[in-house]
A and B are shown apart, each in its own frame.
Chain A
C-alpha cells in the first residue's frame, strides 16, 4: 500500500514542456504567477484562462490528472467563493436575503478569485511540477541559485540534501513496510482504537525506522567520503545544462502573456478587481 505513494507530481512524458530547460521553467513559472496576479478584469482573466488551457494541451497531460490535482483545493475554492459572494459590498444589488446582501460585484469578484486560484495551481504545476522530474528540478534550482554561493548560501549542500532525500524515500518506504509487517507479525494492532491508541501503536514502527535511517546515513557518509566527496568546491557535473534557442521561447511566451495581461487591463472596460 505504501508503494503507491508517488514522488512529487511528476508525470513522465516527452512534450514540448517536458523538454524545456528546468531553469527556464522555474523562471517561467514565477513570471506566470506574477501574470496571474496582474489580471484585473474579466477580459484579462479570460485571456489567462485560455493561456493556461493552451499550456495544459501543450503538456499533453490527461485532463483526469489535472482535475485530480485541483481536487484538494475544492474546499478552499468553495469557501472563498461563498465568502466573497455573501460579504462583498458593491453597488448593484442582486438579492437581499435579510441577513446578507448579494451584489453583482460580489459574484464577479468571487468568480474571478476562483479562476485565479485554479489558474495559479494548474498553470504552475503544468509548467513546473508535472513536467519536470524531481532530479531536473533540483539540478535547475542548484544552477539557478548558484550565484548565491558568493554570499555564502550553501546552494550545493541544499541540492545534495534534496537529491539524497529523493534517493532514499523509496528505500525508507520499503523499510517502513517491512517494519510494519514485522510488528504486525508480533501482534501489534495498527488499525483499531482511538486516535491516541493508534498514535501509540506507531511508536514501535517509528523507532526502528529512525535507528535504521541513522545507520544508513552513517554508511552513506562513509561511502561518500570514499568517493572523494568534499562539498561543492571544485566539483564538475556530467550533465551540462545548455540553453538552446528553443529554451528561451517558453520564457518569452510567458513574458508576452504577462504583457498582454497588462495591456488588456488598461484598455478593456468593465468590472475590475
Chain B
C-alpha cells in the first residue's frame, strides 16, 4: 500500500505551558490522549466531536501551529516532530497542509480578493508570473473569478469562505483541513462551500480533512472519525459510524435524522438496515418494506 499522506502515532497534547486557546473547556490538561491514525492521499475524511473534544487541536498540530507534547506526526513520510526540522521544513509542511478556519472574516488579509489569494504564494516567494497563474486558477476552481477585484467586505459569508479556500489552493497543498469552516454560514453558503470542497477532492485529488458538527456534511465523506475527550472513539465509513447510534449519543453527537428513525424502528423489532444515510434511500427502503409486508400478509 502507498505511504499515507498523514500518519499520527500516539499523539498527546496539553496546553500546559502553551497559551490556553479558545474552544478548550475544562481543566483537563491533556487535550489529546494518544491518538493514532493514518490519512490516505486523496481521501475525504470528516472529524466529528463535541466542543472541546480536541479536534481543532489535532488540526493545529498537523500543520505545526502547535507542537505535540509527545507522539509522532509524519507528513508524507517525514517526521515533523523531529527536533532537526528547520524553519523551511516547517513552512513546507504548512504549505502542503493548508487550513481554512471558521470565521471567514478573520482569515482574509488583503483588501482585494485576488491580492488575498496571492498572499500565500507571495509568502512562499513564488515568481510574480507564476503567482498570477495560480491566483487565476485558484479563483476559477472555487468559482469566484468574477469577484477577483472586489473587496472582501462586499462578499457573502459563503463567498468569503470560498476566497479563503482559493487562498489555500494557490499554495498547491496536498491536503486542506477545514476547521468548522461551514459553522458560521447560512444554508446557502454552507452548500456553496461543501460543493467546492467536494469538487476539490474529486477533481483535483486534494485530500480533505473536514471538521464539523453537521452530520449531513459528514455523510458526504469517505471516512468519519469521531473524537471524544481527546481519544479516537469511532473510525469507519459514514455507514459504519452512524449505525452506532447509541455510541454517538454517549459522546454527545447526533446522527442524521433518517439514521435515527431507522435505528428506532430496528429497536421496535422491524427488520430494517441500521446504516441508512440519505432520505431518498430511507424512503425507498421503507416503501419496499411496506410493499413486501403487504404481499406476505
Contact = CB atoms under 8 A, between A and B. Distances in A.
**Do these two chains really belong together in a complex?**
yes
Interface stretch (A22-30, A42-50, A225-233, A255-263): A225-233
A226 B98 contact: yes
A167 B108 contact: yes
Interface in A196-245: 215-216, 219-220, 222-230, 234-240
Nearest to B95: A228
A228 B91 CA distance: 6
A164 interface: yes
A230 B91 contact: yes
B128 A216 contact: no
B131 interface: yes
A237 B130 CA distance: 11
A167 B110 contact: yes
A75 B185 CA distance: 50
B105 A227 contact: no
Contacts of B101: 219, 222-223
A163 B122 CA distance: 15
A234 B126 CA distance: 9
Contacts, number: 97
B112 interface: yes
Contacts of A238: 114-115, 118, 121-122, 128, 131-132, 135
B153 A171 contact: yes
Nearest to A134: B111
A236 B126 contact: yes
B269 interface: no
A189 interface: no
A223 B107 contact: yes
A228 B63 contact: no
Contacts of A235: 122-123, 125
Contact of B65 (A174, A215, A226): A226
Contact of A240 (B91, B94, B111, B128): B128
A237 B122 contact: yes
A53 interface: no
B63 A226 contact: yes
B106 interface: yes
A238 B99 CA distance: 22
B244 interface: no
A231 to B, nearest CB: 9
A226 B107 CA distance: 10
Nearest to A167: B111
Interface in B152-207: 152-153, 167-168, 171
A135 B94 contact: no
A170 interface: yes
Interface in A154-174: 163-164, 166-167, 170-171, 174
Given A135-B115, A222-B65, A238-B135, A163 B106 contact: no
Nearest to A240: B128
Nearest to B123: A228
B63 A237 contact: no
Interface of A: 134-135, 163-164, 166-167, 170-171, 174, 215-216, 219-220, 222-230, 234-240
Interface of B: 22, 60, 63, 65, 87, 91, 94-95, 98-99, 101, 103, 105-112, 114-115, 118-128, 131-132, 135, 151-153, 167-168, 171
11 contacts: A166-B111, A167-B110, A174-B153, A220-B106, A227-B167, A228-B120, A228-B124, A236-B128, A236-B131, A238-B132, A239-B115
